[in-house]
Structure 1
Amino acid sequence: MTAARVLLFGASGFVGHQVAEVLARDPRVGVLTRAGRGEVRDGWVRHDLVAAGPGELGWLLRHVRPDVVINCTGKLAGTTTELVEANVRVTARLLDAVQSEAPAARLVVLGSAGEYGTVPHGQPVAEDDPQQPVADYGVTKLASTQLVRAAAAAERVDAVALRVFNPIGPGLPVENLLGRAAERMRAAIARDEDAIRLGPLGAYRDFVDVRDVATAITAAALAGQVKEPVLNVGSGVAVKARDVVGMLAEEAGFTGRVLEAAPAPARSSAVDWIAADVSRIQRTLGWAPTLDLRESVRASWAA
């Protein structure tokens, strides 16, 4: 089997960095080209999927000649227009460009648990269950996934969307609940303060280690065939956010109060329970998470 040429967008981001690390160690990868908005260095190209035109993207695909294209970019918050640009239009551009310039390549894009919206309490959600997102973020991620599903069904592009649940672990950004909690605990410890403010923490979420997410993305990218165009990536377990923040406080040595007094993020405030049914990705790719929650929380604080 010929070693694959992989083009990875968002390689410097929270998820993309971990994907790059896994791909770099995988013997099935021959050439890994990382794309980002920063300075160009060995093995990297500069490309902004939102700002660049379709001509630039087409040129890049012709230049790299990838067997696999992975998009780890996206936007969690912003105006409706910004979310559509980053989460929907980018996917549309990639589908068109891959079909035109790299028709034999596989395209992997990232979806979100936010596509499901509210789900029955206690019942892990499967890929074909109803999708009723409650905010613009989930709406745009669902639109992206539906574009992938349609392209795959029409055999225009060999494409797959991975619905990633709540990733945590090294490099966690502040847009994420646990990243926000870590930032505020660090500040409180530095200032000798005895309390931090977060939003409500009573909801249950499916927390999955970003390093496990990276292995799922790599599995989807390099598999000989992916028969399902939409796959959940999660731990399969719902945990109360308050308990996970408590674990973080233990790792941080923060003994102050956690005040649940800030507004909840609009993208998830209406969802009080969610967990992924991961049986499809286990059947399709043989993937399952390997890192436990405590290790993920420890890595979230240490990094």
Structure 2
Amino acid sequence: MRLGIIGGGANSEHEVSLASADSIASTAAANHDIIHLTIGRAGHWTTDRGDALAVDAAVRILRTCDVVFPALHGVNGEDGMAAALLTAIGVPYIGSDIGAGAIGMDKWVTKLIASELGIATAPGTLVRAGERPTATLPELPVVVKPVAAGSSHGVSFVDSAAEVDAAVIAAFEHDDRVLIEEAVMGREVDIAVLERSDGSLTVSPTLEIDLGGDDVFGTERKYGGTARFVVPANVSPATRAELESCARRLFRALGCRGIARFDFFVTDTRLVLNEVNTMPGFTAESQVPRMFGAMGMPYADLIDALIETAMARR
């Protein structure tokens, strides 16, 4: 296959996306012809050699590819933007389409859909730009976060009402809508779903994030090399079955394609959905490849499975 890979992106997850794209490219090069393009922080395109590309030139290159892996995390990419571009130019691509990408990136809308499915989410309130938090805040402590941002950028754990305004202002740096959610005290356990070329779904083993006493799995813990991942998570068979059922139902209800990761809190009494990632981090050491690796699917095979699914959709 001639595999196009897009990394970078005009957002706060630029560096994470570069790492995903580089890892995919170096691994897939053994079996495929790689075309590697990058979107800069300001939205400009370059080749893997750093040569500047006009958008129309980038489109012409992408149209020569059999399939494209848009390894873009966050807004202006994962949120349906990359899918819209690739759909418009008629190139098969890996991952969710426009609608699922947009919905999955919107934590508020995701909460509403999860609620309709009977899947619990943290009680919360939405604050829009120009508004101040109302008196009807969730019970403290709370987590304040942008509605559409990833990698924990702009997320704050707040245990004092006096700190809420400052946390909201910090979150507004990443989005014009902010969620204030009641903090859920539980273990953070993730699970992923892979769509096969025949449309069937394969669910990964669970993965637990050992926070080491921290309240929030923040950006520094995610990418500073100090996070500890436990695969499979030490959960009961009943909890594992419930996680798998929730993940399958969310994948279908949101209209996800290819791959998606679902992050939950496991408390003493229930599961609580934290968020959905329709284009999760994708280096060889990222959570999703670790999960599928634990069930005997090497990283290169996972990439090829996604390519096969994207080609089958064509």
| TM-score normalised according to structure 2 size | 0.36
The structure carrying a bigger helix percent of its residues is 1
